[in-house]
Structure formats: C-alpha cells, structure tokens
Structure 1
Amino acid sequence: MNEQRMLLSKIKKYDFTLKELNLYLDTHPNCRQALTMFRKYRQLRENAVQEYARKYGPLTPEQADNDERWTWTDDPWPWERR
C-alpha cells in the first residue's frame, strides 16, 4: 500500500473512532475518559487531514484554499488521486 492510501486509511479509521466515541458520549456525557479520547482522535484526524491536503490535495471543499478561483472541481477528484 502506498503512502497516500495508508494516510487515507488512517483518516477513515479516525473517522470511525470519532463516530463511535460520539455515539458513546451521547449516552455517557460525563465520561471523562471518552471525552479525552474524543479530543485526542479529533486532533489526530485533523493532523492527518492537513498532511493529506498538503501532500495530495484537499479532501473537502473547505480545504480548497486558492484565493484566485474555486479549485475544488479541478481534476482529479480526491478519490481519483494516486
């Protein structure tokens, strides 16, 4: 597996973990351990997304940061990049 796919896989794992922690915290809002884990994985995901965008381009429209024109629709799309 190449570096790009590994980084994308890591982001997906963080997304899954955050969703599960979100669901848990919905029913256990006072669990400090889960809240700490949520904050940790949110930061790990943000770091990984920033690294991915820096190396391979944006994953979301919010990351298309060109002030001159809207670059989100430029090819290739994030899932088409290799």
Structure 2
Amino acid sequence: MKQMPKEYYDLLHQLQAIDFVLIDLTLYLDTHPHDYEAIQQFNELAQERKKLKKQYETQFGPLQQYGNSYSHYPWDWSKTPWPWQV
C-alpha cells in the first residue's frame, strides 16, 4: 500500500476522533434533548469537523462520495489509498 505523508494520518485521526464524539453525543442527545451544554458541544465539534474535512480534502482528495465531497480535476476517486483503507 502507498505510504502517505504524516499529515494525512494526523488529519484522518483527528476526523475519526471527532466523528466518535459526535456519534456519542448524538446518542446522548437522543435521550437528553434539553441538555444545552451537550448541544453546544455537538455544534462546536460539527463546525470543527467541517473545517478539518475541508483541510483534508484540499490536500488529499474526497472523503465521501455521492455529493458529500467535491472532486478535484481530474476526477480523483481513482487515487488510493482511500481513507477506509488505512
């Protein structure tokens, strides 16, 4: 498998960590919908994730398909490794 620069793995790790917390907060908020502080934390992390996703995709290409991520020119879905392969 192709070795990627350290920043690739660092950004991917940060995204995975934020995704984990967002999933956990989602489950918590499903049962505690009036917890204002948890909602604030969720929204802050969602903004941080959006920023990290943009940074990652600018440098390394799209993370998701079906319109959830833009493609560079030329079409770059054929580049590997894909995030789920590392």
TM-score, with structure 1 as normaliser: 0.82
Unaligned runs of 5+ in 2: none
> Cα offset for 1:3?
1.0
Q: Which one has more relative contact order, counting CA pairs under 8 Å at least 6 apart?
A: 2
| More helix, by proportion | 1
Q: Is the 8 A contact 2:25 2:38 kept in 1?
A: yes
Task: Tell me by how many angstroms 1:2 deviates.
Answer: 1.0
Structure 1 residues 62-77: aligned runs within 5 Å: 62-65=68-71, 71=75, 73-77=77-81
Aligned residues: 80
Root-mean-square deviation (CA, aligned residues, Å) is 2.5
**CA distance in 1 between partners of 2:8 and 2:71 (Å):** 20
User: Structure 2 length normalisation: TM-score?
Assistant: 0.79
